[in-house]
Amino acid sequence: MNNTKSQELYNKGLKHLVGSVNSPVRAFKSVGGNPLFIKNAKGSKIYDVDGNEYIDLVLSYGPMILGHGNQHVIDAVTKQVNEGFSFGASTENEIILAEMVCAAFPGMDKVRFVNSGTEAILSAIRLARAFTKKNKIIKFAGCYHGHSDALLVAAGSGLVTYSLPGSAGVPDSAVKDTLIAEYNNIQSVKAHIEKHNDIAAVFIEPIAGNMGVVVPTDSFIKELRQITQDAGILLVVDEVMTGFRSKFGGAQDLLGIQADITCLGKVIGGGFPVGAYGAREEIMNHVSPLGSMYQAGTLSGNPVAMAAGISTLTELKAQNPYEKFNQQAEQLEKAMLDAAATNGIDLTVNRFGSMINPFFSKKTITNFTEAQECNTAQFTKFFWGLIANGIYIPPSQFEAWFLSSVISDEDMEKLEKGLNKAMRMLVHS
């Protein structure tokens, strides 16, 4: 495979871009080699600057659920671009998208649009503290909620622990009120609640997607909802990744829970920068200009992003591709497990709706510690094997793969063959 132009652009970008990228995972550090530079995309395919074609299972890390270049979205965005890019003033489309989002999430009366998932989460932290008048928050090891200081943390020693800064530039004071629990371990949450009486909120990805796809057990997620209610602690559910991915609405409904605050992004922007946080009226009324919790943004509710979001959700509701997603994910799971078994490779596959990924491990992965124990060296070889066979996946073991509604039967055949070849390369290369 020829990657000459990608290599040239990478070298050129090193001069003025940090690591020649604008987001770390794009640097391919965990899989070795240099990043591919993408030129264009259409439907289920993405094309790099050297002309190589790939079936895209990254999908901009989730938002391109309709595939690339959906004509309905293009038409809506083009119309809005011709009318204006940004006004710094209110538009009707903000109201329309807000109505669509709130209708899809029971318990969400009002929503505030922002520009990214990170911004939605950091606003939710402030809102939870303003509403409860408490300061501490709980997050789960392996769940990623953007790069805000309070949640960019690493666990200290021990299962139940205070946080340590997870990045240079994050002071100890920024994470002193953040507590870490273990995903799928309700006792780790209870221990914090028993020890602290000033916990404002628990933050969780309903389906973890940044330690690979990890699904909560039914007992864990439902008991989490119950104990937070009993303790007067808000449950903040980060559906930036899962929102509209497994049903028209959120994973909460499929899991049988309801958040106090929900954070969204990805799909609701249709590929444009959008985030959102929403809750019942008594909580959201604390947000300025109705309340004293200040949060603002010049580009929040950007008219082009709102047009893309409305069109994406309208088309998504009309297509209703969720059963197809389940069938295709099941088919890919079987293809990977069969190929691994044939080649004597330890593999487990986790999936939920249109999110899926394999772990090179004998055991089912239920938390971040188990995810970290899998064979990442095998994943690296697998990644490059898939690239060589025209399949584009995230360059990290700990990122979810995504399906789009335009993946065809022909694509599925190519995916199965490519997965089989890449698995075989692990033992025959």
Ordered DSSP codes for 285-320: TTBTTTSSB----TTTT-HHHHHHHHHHHHHHHHH-
Query: Using CA atoms, how far apart are residues 65 and 266, in angstroms rounded to an integer?
Result: 9
240 near 207, Cβ under 8 Å? no
Catalytic (active-site) positions: 144, 238, 266
Distance of CA 47 to the CA centre of its chain: 23
Residue whose entry in the numeric block shows the structure tokens 């920068």: 273
Question: What distance in Å separates the CA atoms of residue 323 and residue 240, rounded to the nearest whole number?
Answer: 21
- What whole-number distance in Å separates Cα of residue 48 and Cα of residue 81? 27
Token digits for 393?
């996946």
Q: What is the Cα Rg of the chain in Å?
A: 21
Say if CB 277 and CB 120 are below 8 A apart: yes
Q: Yes or no: say if 353 and 320 are a contact pair by the CB < 8 Å rule.
A: no
Neighbouring CB atoms inside 10 A of 149's CB total 18
Determine contact, residues 51/279, Cβ cutoff 8 Å. no
Backbone phi, psi, residue 163, to 5° = -90, 155
